[in-house]
């Protein structure tokens, strides 16, 4: 297949994580769980939990400031500001608008993308489309998640899985052949009830009874979600590579969504990418939904694991169900 010419590139990255580290041993004190169970089933050792008063908007602003500073852009230069989040500060207006106001990005169109853990790659695709259509030159993509704000901390099947954090990237026109070689997005809404927050929207508004049942918090059929994640991430890896005219052997760095080390290993094996080329930080942060991939990318750059010209494969899966993938030449 002919290699596509990139239209856009990621000019810079940034991240923000709360200081507060909560270990598996901390959960042993409040839940019927163990460090051993959590490590063996998920690969998670600890996660960051933001204080009550900090939301996705705050975290997104901090990550965005780092990315903007590294790209050398001023807030007024941003044409489009997209926030991928499953944990918006408010249901109305968007968290992107809150981030816009705080940054002073007065020339931007700001909106949220709701695609759960796949949100970053969805938002990257939207950014690419805006720039390709000539409607924008600079797009700020922010993935900000306060997952612990929608997690029932008395439910051991979900409480130990999630963490808080934000990542941001500045997207602009491609230079020197570097940038996004493929972007693949898919969803299957028929399986929504396997991973969702049943109550709190307009169809099932909050009631006292629902609040007591904690039906406004994340409910997940873990085993079923696991199976779908493995299957869909394999499809996503295939499609991103196919559309980029590459194979797993061409990949220099694989950045999968960080939900569970067993899902990561299965996807890497399927895509024929050896584990030494896979970026893993699920042990330190848990599942931060859409923020996992941009945070991992930022850490990979900081650790010197990304060189100019490298092929990066990114693959995600989440509620919806949604799944998505992208190949980038760095
Ligand atoms: O990011 C979006 C997508 N999300 C995911 O990709 C998550 C996908 N799912 C998973 O990662 C895994 O399914 C989990 C980590 C959530 C669960 O692991 P599992 O190996 O699928 O366990 P399970 O749900 O089948 O539960 C096995 C046992 C159950 O006990 P019984 O019924 O066998 O007696 C659970 O009650 O483990 C029990 N269990 C726990 N035990 C100790 C569930 N949570 C815990 C816990 N500590 N925290």
- Amino acid 3: pLDDT: 76
226 Cβ below 6 A of ligand 1: yes
229 Cβ below 6 A of ligand 1: yes
Residue to mutate (ligand 1; options 115, 226, 236, 256; most atoms within 8 A of CB): 226
pLDDT in tens, the chain (330 residues): 677 899 999 999 999 999 999 999 999 999 999 999 999 999 999 999 999 999 999 999 999 999 999 999 999 999 999 999 999 999 999 999 999 999 999 999 999 999 999 999 999 999 999 999 999 999 999 999 999 999 999 999 999 999 999 999 999 999 999 999 999 999 999 999 999 999 999 999 999 999 999 999 999 999 999 999 999 999 999 999 999 999 999 999 999 999 999 999 999 999 999 999 999 999 999 999 999 999 999 999 999 999 999 999 999 999 999 999 999 999
Residue to mutate (ligand 1; options 163, 222, 223; most atoms within 8 A of CB): 222
Nearest CA to ligand 1 atom 29: 157
Answer whether 204's CB lies under 8 Å from 180's CB. no
**Secondary structure element (H or E) that encloses residue 15, with its range:** strand 8-16
Contacts with 81 (C-beta within 8 Å, 6 or more apart), sequence order: 96, 99, 100, 103, 105, 108, 109, 110, 111, 139, 140, 142
Q: What is the DSSP string of 210-248?
A: HHHHTTTS-EE-HHHHHHHHHHHHHHHHHHHHHHHT--G
- Amino acid 50: pLDDT: 98
The single residue listed with the structure tokens 């010209």 is 309
Nearest CA to ligand 1 atom 39: 157
- Amino acid 243: pLDDT: 97
The catalytic site residues sit at 117, 257, 287
Answer whether 327's CB lies under 8 Å from 311's CB. yes
- Amino acid 268: pLDDT: 98
Q: Write phi, then psi, for 249 (nearest 5 degrees).
A: -70, -20
**Cβ burial 190-212 (10 Å sphere, 16+ → b, else e):** ebeebbebbbbeeeeeeeeeeee
Nearest CA to ligand 1 atom 2: 318
Q: Residue 112 burial by CB count (10 A; 0-12/13-18/19+): exposed, middle or buried?
A: buried
> What span, in angstroms and rounded, lies between the C-alpha atoms of 134 and 123?
17
> What span, in angstroms and rounded, lies between the C-alpha atoms of 280 and 264?
8
Cα 257 to Cα 2, 261, 271: the distances in Å are 28, 10, 14
- Amino acid 1: pLDDT: 63
- What separation in Å is there between the alpha carbon of 222 and the centre of ligand 1? 5
- Amino acid 86: pLDDT: 98
Is the bond into 221 cis (omega within 30 degrees of 0)?
A: no
Closest ligand 1 atom to 262 CA: 11
318 Cβ below 6 A of ligand 1: yes
- What separation in Å is there between the alpha carbon of 121 and the centre of ligand 1? 26
Answer whether 329's CB lies under 8 Å from 50's CB. no
Cα 295 to Cα 224, 282, 305: the distances in Å are 27, 11, 14
The single residue listed with the structure tokens 């893993």 is 280
């Amino acid at each position: 297949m002919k290699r596509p010419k990139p239209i856009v590139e990621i000019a810079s990255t940034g991240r923000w994580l709360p200081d507060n580290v909560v270990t598996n041993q901390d959960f042993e004190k409040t839940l019927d769980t163990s460090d051993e169970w959590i490590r063996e089933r998920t690969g998670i050792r600890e996660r960051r939990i933001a204080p009550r008063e900090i939301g996705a908007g705050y975290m997104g602003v901090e990550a965005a400031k780092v990315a903007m500073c590294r790209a050398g852009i001023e807030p007024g230069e941003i044409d489009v500001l997209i926030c991928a989040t499953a944990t918006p500060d408010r249901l109305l207006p968007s968290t992107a608008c809150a981030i816009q106001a705080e940054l002073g990005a007065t020339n931007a169109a700001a909106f949220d993308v709701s695609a759960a853990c796949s949100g970053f790659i969805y938002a990257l695709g939207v950014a690419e489309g805006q720039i390709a259509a000539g409607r924008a030159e600079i797009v700020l993509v922010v993935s900000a998640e306060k997952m612990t704000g929608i997690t029932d901390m008395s439910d051991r099947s979900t409480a130990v899985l999630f963490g808080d954090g934000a990542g941001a990237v500045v997207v602009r026109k491609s230079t020197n052949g570097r940038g996004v070689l493929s972007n693949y997005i898919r969803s299957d809404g028929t399986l929504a009830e396997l991973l969702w927050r049943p109550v709190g929207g307009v169809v099932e508004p909050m009631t006292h009874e629902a609040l007591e049942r904690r039906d406004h918090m994340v409910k997940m059929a873990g085993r079923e979600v696991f199976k779908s994640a493995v299957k869909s991430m394999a499809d996503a890896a295939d499609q991103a590579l196919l559309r980029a005219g590459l194979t797993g052997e061409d990949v220099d760095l694989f950045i999968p969504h960080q939900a569970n080390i067993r899902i990561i290993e299965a996807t890497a094996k399927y895509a024929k990418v050896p584990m030494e080329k896979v970026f893993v930080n699920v042990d330190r942060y848990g599942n931060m939904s859409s923020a996992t991939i941009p945070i991992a990318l930022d850490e990979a750059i900081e650790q010197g694991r990304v060189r100019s010209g490298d092929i990066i494969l990114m693959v995600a899966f989440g509620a919806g169900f949604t799944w998505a993938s992208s190949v980038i030449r760095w």
